[in-house]
């Protein structure tokens, strides 16, 4: 039985908590689709989805942590919307998704990435873009992705990568989870996936990618080799949104404020790098 470990004091990651993320998107949903384009472009999305092998319009696909449906709009280019389900814990994000014409045939539901409401061996494809950074227990979420897939099904996790600059590391640890590339691979391996591949993705203009950190920095895919549940057994969940929080209101507000500050840093950095690339257009490969 694997026991999930708590975050070190040096890595508070205030938004890597379900209740914090809920309230973060209560307001961030207003500007999300506009700001998100700075760090997760359509080109990056489509490049990542190529790894998912969406080669049949009848595939059953679940988009976990789908938010406003940005990743899903890429999925429905290849798969019939009636076969696609978008799941997110934020009703405010999902309200945006429900207004998009491309997603009118999709099923849109509230739910928890670490406890999916789908039966075992349900879907052909699983995708999650820009969500894992908010999961208190990413190993549990990836274990769930394995469980809900059919034998031979494929999972694709699109997420951030830990920066190397100490300034960016500081703000990353204040805001949310920025896994290392090896973390993704190990989580997939422990869950039981095979044929695991990692691909770096980022905006064309994002230079020095590993120095400042990319909000979307890589996509990782894995194939489920056998039917049934994941071989990985985990202990009790770290956090359950449905259970009332006993957190001190002042402490909550303080952490929430610091989390927002960390988030804004990663809005200003892409703006700075975009301007820099316009002035000195000499980007490098990621």
Span 142-186, pLDDT tens digits: 999 999 999 999 999 999 999 888 888 999 999 999 999 999 999
* Per-residue model confidence as pLDDT tens digits over 204-230: 777 655 666 666 789 999 999 999 999
Residue 6, pLDDT above cutoff 80: no
Distance (Å) of CA 286 to CA 156, 170, 172, 206, 213: 19, 22, 19, 8, 11
For residues 104 and 106, give the distance between their C-alpha atoms in angstroms, rounded to a whole number: 6
Residue 134, pLDDT above cutoff 80: yes
In a domain, 36, yes or no: yes
In a domain, 6, yes or no: no
Q: What is the domain range of residue 172?
A: 18-236+248-279
Average pLDDT in the 100-107 region? 98
Task: Provide the percentage of residues in the chain whose pLDDT is more than 90.
Answer: 66
In a domain, 9, yes or no: no
Residue 111 is part of a domain; what is its CATH number? Answer: 3.40.50.150
Q: Which SS3 state, helix, strand or coil, does residue 67 take? A: coil
pLDDT recorded at residue 211:
67
Residue (of 174, 139, 175) closest to 10 by Cα position: 174
In a domain, 64, yes or no: yes
In a domain, 96, yes or no: yes
Q: What are phi and psi of 11, to 5 degrees?
A: -130, 75
The count of structural domains within the chain is 1
For residues 259 and 239, give the distance between their C-alpha atoms in angstroms, rounded to a whole number: 18
Distance (Å) of CA 133 to CA 140, 162, 217, 239, 255: 13, 11, 12, 15, 16
Residue 86, pLDDT above cutoff 80: yes
Q: Is the pTM of this model over 0.85?
A: yes
Average pLDDT in the 85-97 region? 97
For residues 38 and 129, give the distance between their C-alpha atoms in angstroms, rounded to a whole number: 15
């Amino acid at each position: 039985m694997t026991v999930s470990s708590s975050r070190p004091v040096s890595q508070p990651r205030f938004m890597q908590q379900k209740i914090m993320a809920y309230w973060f998107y209560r307001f961030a949903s207003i500007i999300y689709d506009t700001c998100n384009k700075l760090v997760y472009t359509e080109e990056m999305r489509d490049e990542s989805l190529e790894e998912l092998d969406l080669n049949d319009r009848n595939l059953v696909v679940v988009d976990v942590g789908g938010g406003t449906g940005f990743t899903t709009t890429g999925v429905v280019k290849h798969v019939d919307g009636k076969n696609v389900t978008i799941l997110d814990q934020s009703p405010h994000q999902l309200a945006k998704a429900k207004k998009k014409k491309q997603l009118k045939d999709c099923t849109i539901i509230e739910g928890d990435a670490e406890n999916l409401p789908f039966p075992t061996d349900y879907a052909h494809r699983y995708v999650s873009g820009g969500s894992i950074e908010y999961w208190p227990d990413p190993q549990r979420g990836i274990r769930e992705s394995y469980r809900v897939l059919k034998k031979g099904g494929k999972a694709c996790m699109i997420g951030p990568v830990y920066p190397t600059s100490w300034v960016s590391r500081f703000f990353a640890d204040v805001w949310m989870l920025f896994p290392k590339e090896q973390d993704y691979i190990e989580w997939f391996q422990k869950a039981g996936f095979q044929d695991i591949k990692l691909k770096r993705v980022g905006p064309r203009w994002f230079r020095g990618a590993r120095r400042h950190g990319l909000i979307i920095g890589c996509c990782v895919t894995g194939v489920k080799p056998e039917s049934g549940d994941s071989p990985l057994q985990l202990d009790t969940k770290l956090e359950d949104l449905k259970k009332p929080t006993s957190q001190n209101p002042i402490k909550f507000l303080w952490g929430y404020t610091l989390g927002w500050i960390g988030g804004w840093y990663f809005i200003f950095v892409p703006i700075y790098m975009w301007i820099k690339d316009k002035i000195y257009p000499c980007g490098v490969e990621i």
